[in-house]
Structure 1
Amino acid sequence: MVVDCAILGGGPAGLNAALVLGRSRRRVILFDNNQPRNAVTGVSHGFITRDGVTPQEFRQLAHQDLAKYPNIELRQAAVTDIVKAAEGTFRITTENGEQYEAKTVLLATGLKNILPAVEGIEDFYGKSLFSCPYCDGWEHQDQPLILISENPYIFHTTKVLYNWSKDIIVASNGHSYLTDEQKAVLQAKQIPYYEQKIISLAGQDGKLERVIFEDGTEIERAGGVAAAGWRQALPFGELLGCELTDFGGIKTDGFGRTNVKGVYAAGDAALVEPAQLVIAAADGSKAAIGINSDMLLAEFG
């Protein structure tokens, strides 16, 4: 059987796309390898009616919603290959050697984080160091915080974090991105800026207590933001010939369409910003509408 759409990725974008396509009477199969980027996150915020939901609870509730629709199939399996078949469909192969055919493919495979190169940072990430002030800033308001960033957006992220706490320091871990004017702004706001490398982080049970720099300076901090880089979690976008943005996301037109006919992308894989649960889910909905619209257009000539 050839399904209307094969969705790769069981995060908020893929799940919401499956729901909208299922309700559009399309036959959908969703592949989920159960390796979400937010697995280290205790709870997720900013999604109305689901504020504070755990990633596991969110997925469970989403699966319950999808189970109402017999035309939506969930497969707990990793996809290992996708090829364009001669008939114009896509042939999907899983880790178990099973094969499926689909008229369209939605890549909602997400991203993998690349954390700043600081020894032991993984022990604190998701517990007291986070990537998104909008997601976790409320719980850390007015605490002594640190921004650790190795990317050119360090000044912007500093301003965002300052909204939740005025007691912050900024560390670029050996990189130099700030201009003299930006440094002057931080100085005027009494925000210390450290360019030297961080030797280590100290704390217990994931709770940050101190930051140790290479010159021996130790500063007490209760948490903060570790501005992560990213890469595509899976290579299927490039393998299928999809164009990427300058920042490594799969380029779409806003309704999930890529430059490859029949291939769509949504959520973190398309580098939808900011990277929040509710925004990824909304992007999945838009991609589903794009897929259904294109199928209707083909049906009506």
Structure 2
Amino acid sequence: MKLDCAIIGGGPAGLNAALMLGRSRRLVIVFDTNKPRNAVARESHGFITRDGIEPRELRRLAHQDIANYPTVTIKPDKVTEIKPMAGVFEVTTSNGVMYQARTVILAAGLKESLPAIPGLPQFYGKSVFSCPYCDGWELRDQPLMVLSEGSNLFHLAKIVYNWSKDVLVCTNGANTLNTQQIAMLGQRGIQVAPYKIKALQGENGKLKRILFENDAEVKRSGGFITPSWDQAAAFGEALGCAMTPSGGFVTDDYGRTSVKGVYAAGDSSIIVPAQLIVAAGEGSKAAIGANTDLTNADFGG
């Protein structure tokens, strides 16, 4: 049986794409390994009517909604290869099963790599986060750290200042701020610690202090960092999809990549900020793009 669309990834983008395609009466399979990037998060925020929901519960409700559309199937299987084959895409899973799909939506998202700082993993998703729009409210008015080894450190520090005026900016020894930026931060009372971090310390996921390699110690109760991101699956690159400098896929307003029949949505297109509601919207747009192109093809357009 030839699918209208194979969706790779069962996060907010992939599930919302499946919902829209199901409502469009398209034959769809969502391949989901159930390893979401936000697995460490206890709550998800910024999604209207679902603010503060547990990520697992959001997925359960999404599956419940999709179950109303009989043309959509969610497969707990891992895709290992996608090959273009005479007008269709041949999708092979780890179980050796092959499917043919007229279109493919890449929504496998990203995999994160945290800065190599001892202690950081035990706090990530509990008191240290990557998105202030998602978790800034819960850390409001607390003594916070902002940590990045990249060029976005100045921007991140300014954004976090909206939630707390007690901010310590940490470069972890990287030369990421210029003299003017340091001065601008200082005018707001934002201190900069240019030293390499020896360790983060605390208990039960709650950050308490930062230890620096110059033996300085600063008390902090939470903060925000910038992980590095890579595509969770390399299918787009293997198919020849054009990439952006930040590592996402080049897409139009409806998720179309540079390869005909291939669409990208959610974290796969490097959404900043990486919010659930934005990813879900991207999934909806990719689904509309795919359905439009399928319809035009059926009409000979």
Which TM-score bucket, shorter chain as reference?
over 0.9
The alpha-carbon deviation at position 88 of structure 1 amounts to 1.4
Q: Write the distance in 2 (CA, Å) between the matches of 1:251 and 1:117.
A: 30
- 3-state secondary structure, aligned to 2:154: helix
Gaps of 5+ in 2: none
**C-alpha contact (below 8 Å) 1:14/1:284 kept by paired residues:** yes
Give the residue type in structure 2 aligned to 1:58: L
In the other structure, the counterpart of 2:16 is 16
Instruction: Provide TM-score, normalisation by structure 1.
Output: 0.98
CA–CA distance in structure 2, aligned partners of residues 25 and 272 of structure 1: 28
Deviation of 1:98 (Å): 1.1
Q: Does structure 2 conserve the Cα–Cα contact (< 8 Å) formed by 1:162 and 1:168? A: yes
| Separation in 2, partners of 1:215, 1:162 | 26
The amino acid of 1:71's aligned partner reads T
In 1, distance between residues paired with 2:132 and 2:103?
A: 36
Tell me the SS of whatever aligns to 1:38. coil
Structure 2 equivalent of residue 28 of structure 1: 28
Q: Tell me by how many angstroms 1:254 deviates.
A: 1.9
Per-residue deviation, 1:272 = 2.1
SS of residue in 1 equivalent to 2:289: helix
Rounded to whole Å, the distance in 2 between the matches of 1:6 and 1:104 is 6
Whole-angstrom CA distance in 2 between matches of 1:222 and 1:46:
22
Distance 2:38 2:148 in 1: 19
Give yes or no for the alignment of 1:168 onto 2:167. yes
Residue 122 of structure 1: aligned partner: 121
Which letter does structure 2 place at the counterpart of 1:243?
Answer: A
Aligned partner of 1:61 in structure 2 is: 61
CA–CA distance in structure 2, aligned partners of residues 272 and 148 of structure 1: 20
In 2, distance between residues paired with 1:233 and 1:197? 29
Amino acid at match of 1:206: G
Asked whether the 8 Å contact 1:9–1:108 carries over to 2, the reply is: yes
Residues 4 and 27, structure 1, Cα contact 8 Å, conserved in 2: yes
Deviations 1:186-245 (A, max 9, x none): 111111101110000110111100000000000000000021121111111101111110
How far apart, in 1, do the equivalents of 2:257 and 2:188 lie? 43
Structure 1: which 5+ runs fail to align? none
**Paired residues for 1:40-55 under 5 Å:** 40-55=40-55
Q: Partner of 1:263 in structure 2?
A: 262
Q: How does 1:62-211 map to 2 (within 5 A)?
A: 62-85=62-85, 87-211=86-210
Percent of pairs identical after alignment?
57
Q: Distance in 2 between matches of 1:254 and 1:194?
A: 41
Write the deviation string for residues 270-296 of structure 1: whole angstroms up to 9, x where unpaired. 112221000000000000000011111
CA distance in 2, matches of 1:271, 1:202: 31
Q: CA deviation at 1:10?
A: 0.2
Q: Deviations over 1:41-64 (max 9, x none)?
A: 000000000001111001000000
Any idea what SS the aligned residue of 1:101 has? Answer: strand
How far does residue 183 in structure 1 lie from its aligned partner after superposition? 0.6
Q: Report the 3-state secondary structure (helix = DSSP H, G, I; strand = E; otherwise coil) of the residue aligned with 2:38.
A: helix
Checking the alignment, whether the CA contact within 8 Å between 1:125 and 1:226 is kept in structure 2 is no
Kindly indicate whether the alpha-carbon contact (under 8 Å) linking 1:198 and 1:214 is maintained by their aligned counterparts in 2. yes
Shift in Å at residue 162 of structure 1? 0.3
Question: Matches of 2:251 and 2:112 in 1, distance apart?
Answer: 21
| One-letter identity of the residue aligned with 2:81 | D
> Is the 1:31–1:78 contact (alpha carbons within 8 Å) kept by the matching residues of 2?
yes
Segments ≥4 residues shifted beyond 3 Å: none
Instruction: Please give the alpha-carbon distance, in whole angstroms, between the structure 1 residues aligned to 2:61 and 2:186.
Output: 47
Q: Structure 2-normalised TM-score?
A: 0.98
Give 1:119 deviation, angstroms: 1.2
Residue aligned with 1:37, SS = coil
Counterpart-to-counterpart distance in 2, 1:275 and 1:162 = 19
Number of residues of Structure 1 aligned to a counterpart in Structure 2: 300
What is the SS of the residue equivalent to 2:87? Answer: coil
The code of the aligned residue for 1:138 comes to: W
- State the Cα deviation string for residues 91-120 of structure 1 (Å, max 9, x = none): 111111111110000000100112122112
Deviations 1:230-271 (CA, angstroms, capped at 9, x unpaired): 111111110111111010001101211001011110000011
